[in-house]
Amino acid sequence: MTQSRSNVAGTKVAFIGTGVMGASMAGHLMHAGCKLAVYNRTPAKAQPLVERGARWAGTPGEAAADADVVITMVGYPADVEAVYLGKDGIIAAASAGTLLIDMTTSSPQLAVRIAEAADAAGLDALDAPVSGGDIGARNATLTIMVGGSETAFARAEALLSVMGKSVILQGGPGAGQHTKMSNQVAVAGSMFASIEALAYARAAGLDPASVLQSIGGGAAASWSLENLAPRVLKGDFNPGFYVKHFVKDLRIALEAARAAGLELPALTLAEKLYARLSEAGGSELGTQALWLLYASEQERMSAGVEASATAED
C-alpha cells in the first residue's frame, strides 16, 4: 500500500459519486496524496471531502475537465450513461489522454459502448466494479474486477490498489462487469443461505447467535454469514449495499444470463424476493434485510417495512 501511495501522490483525480462507498474510496485517494475534485448529485454527501480539501465541481464534466483520472461510483446504468455519454458529460469534457474508470456495477454492454466512445475521443476507459460493501470501502479492502486494455490497466493499477486489496484485470471492455455479475450470483446464494440458516435456527428453538458461533467457522462459512448475519441478529438493516442497487444488479445478471442462453433458477428467485422486499418499502435498507421476508410482523414494522411482505409464493 505504501508503494502504491507514493506512485499516485499528486495525481489529479475527479471522483463522481460520493455515497455510502464512494466517499470512503475517495477519502483513501486523498490520504494517498491525490488532488481530488468531487461531484455528487446531493452536495451534502461530498461536503466532508470538501472540508478535507477536495475541490467541489458543479457538474461531472467540470470535475473531469482538469483531471488526469476520472472515477465514477454512481447508482444505475442510466446514471453511468448520462455522466459519460451525455452532451455535457465526462467524455465530452475530458482532455485527450485522460483515464476513465467506472467503478459502478453496471451493464457489460454499456461498458463496451463507453470504451469505444472513449477510444474515439483519445481517452482510455476501464470498467472496474467492486465487491466488499461499505466495510471494504472503509477499510480499503475491496475486490476490484477490471475490464479494459492492458495499457489502461497499467495506468490504473496503483490508484485502484489504494482502494482495494485484490485488483485483477479480467479481460477487455465489459469483462469487469461480467465478473461482477458472477460475483452477485454467488452473493445472492450465500445471502439466501445465511438468512435461511438463521430462520431455521430460530424455528428450531435455538439461540441464533450461538448457532452462528458454531457454524461461522466451519464449512458453512461465507462473507455474508460473517459480516451480515451478525447485523441481522442486532436488528441492524442499515445499508452497506442498498437493496435497490442489488435488485438492479440481479436484473443485469439475469439479462446477461438469458442473452447467453443460461438458466439460473436461484438467481431468478433472488431477484423475485429482493424485488418484493423493495416494493414492500425495503429499497433503502441493506441486503441483509432479506431477513425481513422471514421475520415477524413486529420485526418488519420496527424496520420500517410494510407488514404485508412475506416469503410465501
Looking at the DSSP bridge assignments, the partners of residue 35 are 12
33: left (phi over 0), alpha (psi -120 to 50) or beta: left
CA dist., res. 290 & res. 311, Å (int): 9
Q: What is the dihedral of CA 148, 58, 83, 138, to 10 degrees?
A: 50
Mode of pairing for the β-strands spanning 69-72 and 99-102: parallel
Query: Residues 224, 196: contact at Cβ < 8 Å?
Result: no
| Alpha helix positions (H), the chain | 2-8, 22-31, 47-51, 60-65, 77-85, 90-93, 108-120, 133-139, 150-163, 175-203, 208-215, 223-227, 229-233, 243-259, 265-277, 297-302
Contact 146, 153 (CB under 8 A): yes
| C-beta contacts of 279-282 below 8 A and 24+ residues apart | 280/305, 280/306, 280/308, 280/309, 281/305, 281/306, 281/309, 282/237, 282/243, 282/309
Catalytic residue among 12, 35, 180, 244: 180
Q: How far apart are CA 253 and CA 256, in angstroms?
A: 5
**For residue 267, which of 157, 187, 147, 180 has the smallest C-alpha distance?**
187
Q: Is 165 a catalytic residue?
A: no
Which residue matches cell numbers 481530488? 36
The catalytic residues are 180
